[in-house]
Structure 1
Amino acid sequence: MTVTYVIDGSQVTGLERFWNVVGEAVNGPGGYFGRNPDSFADCLRGGMGTPDDGDFVIEWRDHARSARALGHEETARYLRGLLGRADPSNLPRLREELARAGAGLGPTLFDRLLEIIRDETPAGTLRLR
């Protein structure tokens, strides 16, 4: 039986709030389902609340609102936070991504989250509403 997890996009006001919303959608109040892109990808692979057989759907309602909240401004904020922790070899790439996000260009956090879901789950798992 397919399990459906509903992300209420109207509740996503930034990246930190996204982690809370998706955690609660999958694992109930206070639930965890990643707190950064890498751990989110790990959770999507199984063992963190989704069915072992992988038979689940992520229905992202009001995704357009989430897309705005996780847009270029939030992407730039996230990238600025990474600068202080990044390996020096990654700094040129991060600075370039930050400059692009600051100019309203390039992929956003929303784009990246969609990419992670699509990469880590079977086709058709993600339903944008």
Structure 2
Amino acid sequence: MESNTSNNNKKKMIVINGGHFSDLTEFYEEISNILMKNAGWKAGTLDGFNDILYGGFGVFENGQEVELIWKESQKSKSDLGFNATREFYERKIRQGKPFNIELIQQKLDELISGKGQTLFDILIEIIEDHKNITLILD
């Protein structure tokens, strides 16, 4: 049997609850409250969410093994699905600069044709890009 002498190597368990949010702005609020307690800033973009997941300035250290449990993930999959994603892209297209309108239009076209990712898919992909984080959809 292996002895675990260091608590730093213990896997950190983090739970986010899809029942606590119903759109991307509320998701950022929830994830910031859970992962960035007392850090003084919040995620407000997909890039910001990705940055938080590197750790080191929130509730887990850089590279620390994390088990992220997403409760009510089916609700989130619906909330952050086709309609929310279409609105997300359309809002960026209306705003224009600094966004790459051609790229966003392409992503919107892919979404409408059934080939594109929803916001939920994008969030999952961002999480799964961090090899130290194990995602469990509950």
Asked if Structure 1 and Structure 2 have the same fold, meaning a TM-score greater than 0.5 normalized by the shorter chain, the answer is: yes
- Residue of structure 2 in register with 1:94 after alignment: 104
Q: Which residue of 2 aligns with 1:13?
A: 22
Which of structures 1 and 2 has the bigger CA Rg?
Answer: 2
Q: 1:57-98: per-residue Cα shift (whole Å, max 9, x none)?
A: 11101100000000011111111222224457x322211222
Percent identical pairs in the alignment equals 27
**Aligned 8 A contact 2:35 2:52 in 1:** no
Structure 1 residue runs of 4 or more that deviate by more than 3 Å after TM superposition: 27-33, 85-88, 99-105
- CA–CA distance in structure 1, aligned partners of residues 131 and 110 of structure 2: 29
More helix by share: 1
User: Is the 8 Å Cα contact of residues 20 and 31 (structure 1) preserved in structure 2?
Assistant: no
Aligned counterparts, 1:16-55, within 5 A: 16-28=25-37, 32-52=41-61, 53-55=63-65
- RMSD of aligned Cα (Å): 2.5
Q: Secondary structure at the match of 2:27?
A: helix
3-state DSSP of counterpart to 1:59: strand
Where does residue 107 of structure 1 map in the other structure?
A: 117
Aligned residues: 127
Pick closer, same or farther for the CA change 1:50–1:125 going to 2, 3 Å: farther
**Do 2:37 and 2:59's aligned partners in 1 also have CA atoms closer than 8 Å?**
no
TM-score of the two chains, using structure 1 as the length reference: 0.82
Q: Any unmatched runs of 5+ in structure 2? A: 1-9
SS in 2 for 1:66: helix
1:113 alignment partner, SS class: helix
TM-score, with normalisation over the residues of structure 2? Answer: 0.78
